A and B are shown apart, each in its own frame.
Chain A
Amino acid sequence: MKTPASFGSDLVPTSGRLRRRILFDRVIGWVLLLAFVAVLFPLFDLVGWVSSYALPTMSWSVLTENQVGESGGLYAMIVGTLVLISLGTAIAAGLGISAGFYTAEFAPPPVRRLARLAGNVLAGVPAIVLGYFGYYALVLYTHWGFTTLAGGIILGIFMLPYIFRTTDIALSNVPPSQREASLALGSNRIQYLRRVAFPIAFPTILTGIFFAMALGLGEAAPLVYTAGWSSTPVQNLMQPTAFLTGGIWAFYDFPRSYGTFLTLAFQAAFLLIVIVLVINIVVQVLSDRYRQRLAGIYE
């Protein structure tokens, strides 16, 4: 029995222009495949090297101890990152989901177009510009100094467009038949949104939130100018705080022979990679499952 792959081969003429075209097509298929080296190499090389630096001295104490001089662990940074990402997610999800509901359901068309344009442009604003804006507006102008709150707010602004856009798309993509059925049964717009649109859109919105969290966790640029740095775990929101990406930035250029700083940086990197990869795999699986509805947002 002929497999589909061998089926075509007796259709290829032994010479001439058609043969050249068909062979060129096959060769180029393999040549293009070479480009996957460009994504597979970094992924494996990077994860491998980071693990090889981080794992030999990895232990629970790295996660639970505070860094003191040359020894200790990542405790203050982990706490800081958790506080910052919670603040950022709360702000971004609150604003982004409401803005998404407004844009998809209530806004008149010109406002809707403008809001979508603004969301896309905000997503394109470099993170360091947001960070420096935060430094100007929330650190200097308010006389707060470096604070966890400022870091959380700027991180929230950074994450906002991703949550906003997914909410907007998720709600806009609810099939019109669902709305018509709901309205025909006598529900008003709020009831439709609560009982029909939100449950359908929810997995997508959740995917957007996870995605934004993975991005926010990995960003240093919005934070160095706003959250500052601190060597002790953060106690309240008006103090500066340490965070994992900041730890990597602070310690990456210490020579390997010089204390544990480089190892600590790689351990922070390892921890971040694990967290972010887990979140991203969840995002991939969710968006694969809700592929139809997502219409290609995360792939």
Chain B
Amino acid sequence: MIPLVVLGAVIAVLVIASGLKDFGWTFWGFQYRFVPGEPEASSWGIGVFLVGTFLTAGLSLVLATLLSLALAISSVVYLPPLPGRLLSMVTNLLAGIPSVIYGIWGFVVLAPYFGMALEPSLKDVLGWLPGFGGPDSAIGPWGTLLAVFILTIMIIPLTTALMRESLRSVPRELVEAGLALGATRWEVVRRVRMRVARNGLWSAVLLGFGRALGESVAVAMVIGGTSIALPPSLYASSTTVASFIFSQLDSALLYPDLFILLVEFSLVLLGIAVVVNLVAQRFTRVELATATTLGGGG
């Protein structure tokens, strides 16, 4: 544990220091204004990008955690072996679909539903909640909510597989003891399996979070592109660190300042991803951790 904390702290200090070296304290602020060729007029805050990253990754993680828990519990406890295995396979096939294809599907197929059906009705029903009542995205149906939806689907296979594995590896004696004492299956899930597998479930959540943070292509395609401001509502477009780096290729070729900025952005993203992964490792025994391989780095 202590080496991990030290390593995490070292990474954090290095990342913060290198941002300061190139851009000063404004790098950690919320002002982002890029004026090509005029470094004095430009301002390079990463704040908006970090908010977008944690907002999309956090929301999709909440949804994905609930759904994957349901999926994992049904296939381990409630379903007979054969349908359980078939549905696991379907979930795993979902993991194999390339992110760029989720992106084009979201951009072309889902976006009209979101813009015309889902978002207006969400606004009617949940408009009183902060984030659900605000204005739509100015550029079309693409925005934060669509990105959250796509990310949720993308991380479900990973979190489900890891949760299934931890729920399944609960010692049989404990489960049988619970059942023999007269607990129902659900009570055994809730009070025995989920408690014993607690660490594995947390590590699944964290690895899903790391995955959602780092996803670039699919998010860049559906989040609504170029708007660099805090989203006034979930329907509005926003931006994430990873998707911004991915979408700025042309500009990075042209402007040296932006190139350096993207180096800093990559370092920050790397730092966050490494820390999240190290913490996730902490929750699993090393042997188990090596057995928890699924899905790509996004």
User: Residues of A with Cβ closer than 8 Å to B?
Assistant: 21-22, 24-25, 28-29, 31-36, 38-40, 42-43, 45-46, 49-50, 53, 113, 116-117, 119-121, 123-133, 135-136, 158, 162, 165-166, 168-169, 172, 214-215, 217-221, 224-225, 245, 248-249, 252-253, 262, 265-266, 269, 272-273, 276-277, 279-281, 284, 288, 295-299
Contacts and interface: CB of A to CB of B under 8 A. Distances in A.
A39 B72 CA distance: 12
A120 B186 contact: no
B96 A276 contact: yes
B246 A128 contact: yes
Nearest to A224: B249
**What does DSSP make chain A's interface, helix, strand, loop or mixed?**
helix
A129 B270 contact: yes
Contact of B104 (A35, A225, A252, A295): A252
A49 B109 contact: yes
A46 B101 contact: yes
Nearest to B216: A128
Most chain B beta-carbon contacts within 10 A, residue among A35, A135, A136, A276: A35
Nearest to A166: B293
Contact of B291 (A39, A119, A279, A295): A295
A129 B210 contact: no
A220 B96 contact: no
Given A49-B108, A126-B297, 16 more contacts: A35-B67, A46-B105, A50-B105, A53-B108, A117-B278, A120-B281, A123-B297, A124-B273, A128-B269, A129-B214, A245-B217, A248-B100, A265-B104, A276-B96, A296-B169, A299-B161
Contact of A32 (B74, B92, B97, B297): B74
Contact of A120 (B93, B98, B156, B289): B289
Contacts of A120: 277, 281, 289-290
A129 B273 contact: yes
B153 A127 contact: no
Contacts of A265: 104
A276 B104 CA distance: 16
Given A128-B214, A220-B217, A249 B101 contact: no
A215 B207 CA distance: 17
Contacts of A35: 67-68, 70-71, 74
B298 interface: yes
Contacts of B88: 299
Contact of A125 (B156, B214, B295): B214
Given A132-B262, A280-B93, A36 B98 contact: no
Chain A to chain B: the 7 pairs with minimum beta-carbon distance, closest first: A126-B214, A218-B98, A124-B277, A35-B70, A25-B184, A280-B96, A128-B216
Q: How large is the interface on B (under 10, 10 to 19, 20 to 34, 35 or more residues)?
A: 35 or more
A276 B184 contact: no
Interface string B214-249: 111100010000000000000000000010011001
Interface in B248-298: 249, 252, 262-263, 266, 269-270, 273-274, 276-278, 280-281, 286, 289-298
A295 B156 CA distance: 20
A221 B298 contact: yes
Interface of B: 67-68, 70-71, 73-74, 77-79, 85, 87-105, 107-109, 152-153, 156-157, 160-161, 164-165, 168-169, 184-187, 207, 210-211, 213-217, 221, 242, 245-246, 249, 252, 262-263, 266, 269-270, 273-274, 276-278, 280-281, 286, 289-298
Given A32-B74, A38-B156, A279 B96 contact: yes
A33 B70 CA distance: 7
A38 B242 contact: no
Contacts of A295: 291
A249 B168 CA distance: 39
Contact of A277 (B96, B161, B274): B96
26 contacts: A28-B186, A29-B77, A35-B68, A38-B67, A46-B105, A117-B278, A124-B207, A124-B210, A128-B246, A136-B263, A215-B296, A218-B98, A219-B98, A219-B99, A220-B100, A221-B242, A221-B246, A248-B103, A249-B217, A252-B103, A252-B107, A272-B98, A272-B101, A280-B93, A280-B95, A299-B164
B289 A116 contact: yes
A128 B93 contact: no
A29 B293 contact: no
Contact of B101 (A50, A124, A130, A280): A50
Contact of A299 (B78, B103, B165, B276): B165
Contacts of B294: 297-298
A123 B184 CA distance: 39
B263 A24 contact: no
B111 to A, nearest CB: 11
A39 B249 CA distance: 33
